[in-house]
Structure 1
Amino acid sequence: MFEHIVLLKFSQEATQSQKEELIRRTYALKDVIPGIVDLQQGFNFSDRNNGFEVGLTVRFENRDSLNNYGPHPSHQAITAYLKEIGVEDSIIVDFETR
C-alpha cells in the first residue's frame, strides 16, 4: 500500500464554506479515480498545526495508482479549485507502508 498525505494552509480570503466544498469535492475522488483504497480528509483541531487547517490522507493499492492520481483530470480540478480559493502553502508526503 502507498500513503499520500497532504496538509493545507489557506489565505485569509478563503472562506469556511469554500474549505467545506473542497472537502466535499475531494471525497468524490474515491469514486472516480482507480486504485484509491481509502480517502480521509478533515479540519485540524490541534493547536500544533503551524497554520495548516486541513489534512488529507489517501491510501492507494499500488505505486502506479498513486502515480496516476496526480495527473487525473478529477484531481487536477481539485488543484485548480485550491488555487481559486487561495491555498497559501501545502506539505505533501508519499510513502510505502509495510
Structure 2
Amino acid sequence: MVEHIVLLKFAQETTQAQKDELIRRTLELKQIIPGIVDIQQGMNFSTRSQGYEMGLTVRFEDRTSLENYGPHPAHQAIVSYLKEIGLEDSIIVDFELK
C-alpha cells in the first residue's frame, strides 16, 4: 500500500466555506477513482503548522493506483478548484507502507 500526504496553505481571501467545499469534493474521490483504499481530509489545528491549514491523506492499493490518481479527471477537477479558491502552497509526501 501507498500513503499520499498533502499539506495545503491558502490565501487569506480563501473562505471557510470554500475550504469546506474542498473537503466535501475531495472525500467523494474514494467513490470515483479506482485504487483508493481510504481518504481523509481536515483542518489543521496544530500550533506548529507553519501556515499549512489543511491536511489530506489518501491510501492507495499500490503505486500504480497513485500514478493513475494524478491525471484522473476527478482529481484534476480538485486541482482546478484549489487554484480557483487561492491555494498558495502545498507539500506532498508519498511512501510505501511497511
TM bucket by the smaller chain? over 0.9
Q: Structure 1: how far apart are the matches of 2:87 and 2:13?
A: 9
Classify the secondary structure of the residue corresponding to 1:45. Answer: coil
RMSD (Å), alpha carbons: 0.4
Between Structure 1 and Structure 2, how many residues are aligned? Answer: 98
**Residue number in structure 2 paired with 1:75:** 75
**Residue number in structure 1 paired with 2:96:** 96
Letter matched to residue 38 of structure 2: D
Classify the secondary structure of the residue corresponding to 1:64. Answer: helix
- Consecutive unaligned residues in structure 2, runs of 5 or more: none
Letter matched to residue 5 of structure 1: I
Q: TM-score, normalised by structure 1?
A: 0.99
Q: Structure 2: how far apart are the matches of 1:72 and 1:10?
A: 23
Deviations 1:52-88 (A, max 9, x none): 0000000000110000000000000000000000000
Q: Structure 2: how far apart are the matches of 1:63 and 1:50?
A: 29
Classify the secondary structure of the residue corresponding to 2:76. Answer: helix
Q: Structure 1: how far apart are the matches of 2:39 and 2:95?
A: 15
> How far did residue 13 of structure 1 move?
1.1
- Consecutive unaligned residues in structure 1, runs of 5 or more: none
